[in-house]
Amino acid sequence: MNTSNKKTRIAIQNNGRLSESSLDFFKKLGLKFRRNTRQLMVKCTNANVEFLYVRNGDIPEYVSQNVADFGIVGENVLNERESNLTIEKKLEFGECSLIIAVPMKSFIKTIDDLQDERIATSYPRTLKKFLSEKKINASIVDIRGSVEIAPSLNLADAICDIVQTGSTLKKNNLRVIAKVFDSMAVIVSNPGLDKQKWGNFENSLKTMTSNIYE
């Protein structure tokens, strides 16, 4: 059963912490599909909807270029990319925080102590903006992955990274000194789309599901 004559394409994370939760969200809306890890595009069997499996950081680009109508992505990614995409809905999964942490024995106790220090991060734009707002002049070490080991390698004096449970920080003898922001998964669309498009799409899915089970 189609929700509309035009196919709706939704970009979601191929692998990672948001992938399974994103699929579960759409299953609860009534969409039926079978995931094949070797396929990058999967069509629903009961609606004119197609999922596009891509890297998390690429989702904003696919949506902004109208390759996908909607995408599920973390707010942390949107902030880092300074994206102007419209947030259609905040979801109840993927909660995490972007924090600044230092080694347990570090002399750094507060944000002010970061003055002239080195901070390793995979979120250089977000960190630069945060430091500017706090009037802190620090060197940003832009690295990809395994940020938490930077202090032990003397690559940085502090880190700015995403945390969920804090277990990784504990394993690497790090302590939090500041929170930059909280993040969760959100549904985004291109600002040029009809403002009611997500609402209409979601309602059509609910109607379709209720009809199936009547």
**Domain residue spans of the chain:** 8-94+184-213, 96-182
The dihedrals phi and psi of 185, each to the nearest 5 degrees, come to -75, 140
If you average pLDDT over residues 163-180, what whole number do you get? 95
Q: In which residue are the tokens 């109607």 written?
A: 207
The class that CATH gives domain 8-94+184-213 is alpha beta
* Equal CATH topology for 8-94+184-213 and 96-182: yes
Question: Is 90 exceeded by the pLDDT of residue 211?
Answer: no
Bridge partners of residue 5, in order along the sequence: none
Number of H helices, E strands in the chain: 6, 11
E strands, 7-117, in order = 8-13, 41-43, 49-54, 70-74, 86-90, 96-103
Task: Quick: pLDDT tens for 190-208.
Answer: 877 766 677 777 776 666 5
Task: Quick: pLDDT tens for 103-160.
Answer: 999 999 999 999 999 999 999 999 999 999 999 999 999 998 899 999 999 999 999 9
Q: Do 120 and 160 form a contact (C-beta atoms < 8 A)?
A: yes
Continuous H helices in 87-191: 124-133, 167-171
Provide the pLDDT confidence category of residue 41 given band limits of 50, 70 and 90: confident
Length of the chain: 214
Measure CA 202 to chain center: 21
The pTM assigned to this predicted structure is 0.83
Q: Selecting from 3.30.300.30, 3.90.1150.10, 3.40.190.10, 3.40.630.10, what CATH number does the domain 96-182 have? A: 3.40.190.10
Task: Quick: pLDDT tens for 76-85.
Answer: 999 998 888 9
